[in-house]
Amino acid sequence: MKAIFILPLILILAFGEENATAHDADKWRFRASYGVGVASMPYFETSTSTRVRVLPFIDLSYGAFFLSPIKGLGVNLSLAENLTVSPAIAYRAARQERDDDSLEGTGDIDADATYGATIVYKIMPVMLSAKIFSGMSDGGTIADFGISVPVRITDEFGLLAGVVTQYADRRYNRTYYGINAQQSANSDYEIYQPSAGLTNVSANLALSYRFRSNTSAMLFTRYKRFIGEAADSPLVKANDDHQYSFGAMIIWSYTR
């Protein structure tokens, strides 16, 4: 699974758009954010081999509706002053055997459309989030639970720190971390059939600088550690139980 959208960009965007509240959504204004970045990151879910990648980015919204490669296609529903629920349809990337030598004999995992929702509750200065999405075919369900703290250092500089942990059902864990009988016969891995459980925990840090009202630059880094059912996977043990990512991005915004 390529890791282009596994970076903490959702947290970064949440910080960069902290003034775009549910009250703004009622105005039915069109907003567009677009930019480009570069990052050093693992190439797929269980890989510790990092590669430098260019990250194009675009995020569109009209009132409460949004469309982006990170958040998918959905709508922001303000259920209370500090509570937002965002149901959406999104995309789960494929994993190909040729992505890395450690995947030899495991076969390919097809890309999948997903459906679910993100819930954000703000208890200033803390943001609590839960993101639960299921595959429409047989990719299983994952749930990310996070806590983040945005800090406005000056009018131009901002900092956001967050921690996210992930839980996955048995189907997802067996798809991405398991080794079935056929895969074991095609590789040197022993059969591994994980159950549902925690898979990883990550710490995210982002520093933003606003040049103008519509232009921001960001530096971000992430440390991720596999735990629970994922940590016992032969695919994780063939690489390592932790990953590092870091990069920079510049984003322009337009509102009409």
The Cβ-side half-sphere exposure at 25, using a 13 Å CA radius, reads 17
When pLDDT is cut at 50, 70 and 90, the band that residue 27 belongs to is low
Separation between Cα atoms, residue 77 and residue 65, nearest integer Å: 9
> Higher confidence at residue 27 or residue 65?
65
Question: What is the helix (H) or strand (E) element at residue 215, kind and residue range?
Answer: strand 215-226
Q: How many CB atoms are closer than 10 A to CB 85?
A: 17
Determine contact, residues 177/233, Cβ cutoff 8 Å: yes
Distance (Å) of CA 138 to CA 82, 89, 172: 34, 16, 8
Residue type, 178: G
Mean pLDDT of 214-241: 90
How does the average pLDDT of the chain come out, rounded? Answer: 85
The tens digit of pLDDT for each residue in 185-207 reads 999 899 999 999 999 999 999 99
Position 48 scores a pLDDT of 63
> Higher confidence at residue 11 or residue 200?
200
Degrees to nearest 5, angle at CA 208 with 120 and 118: 15
> Higher confidence at residue 242 or residue 116?
116
Separation between Cα atoms, residue 67 and residue 127, nearest integer Å: 22
Separation between Cα atoms, residue 90 and residue 139, nearest integer Å: 13
220, two tokens: 């971000």
- Residue 207, Ramachandran bin (φ over 0: left; ψ between -120 and 50: alpha; else beta): beta
Whole-structure pTM over 0.75, yes or no? yes
Position 116 scores a pLDDT of 95
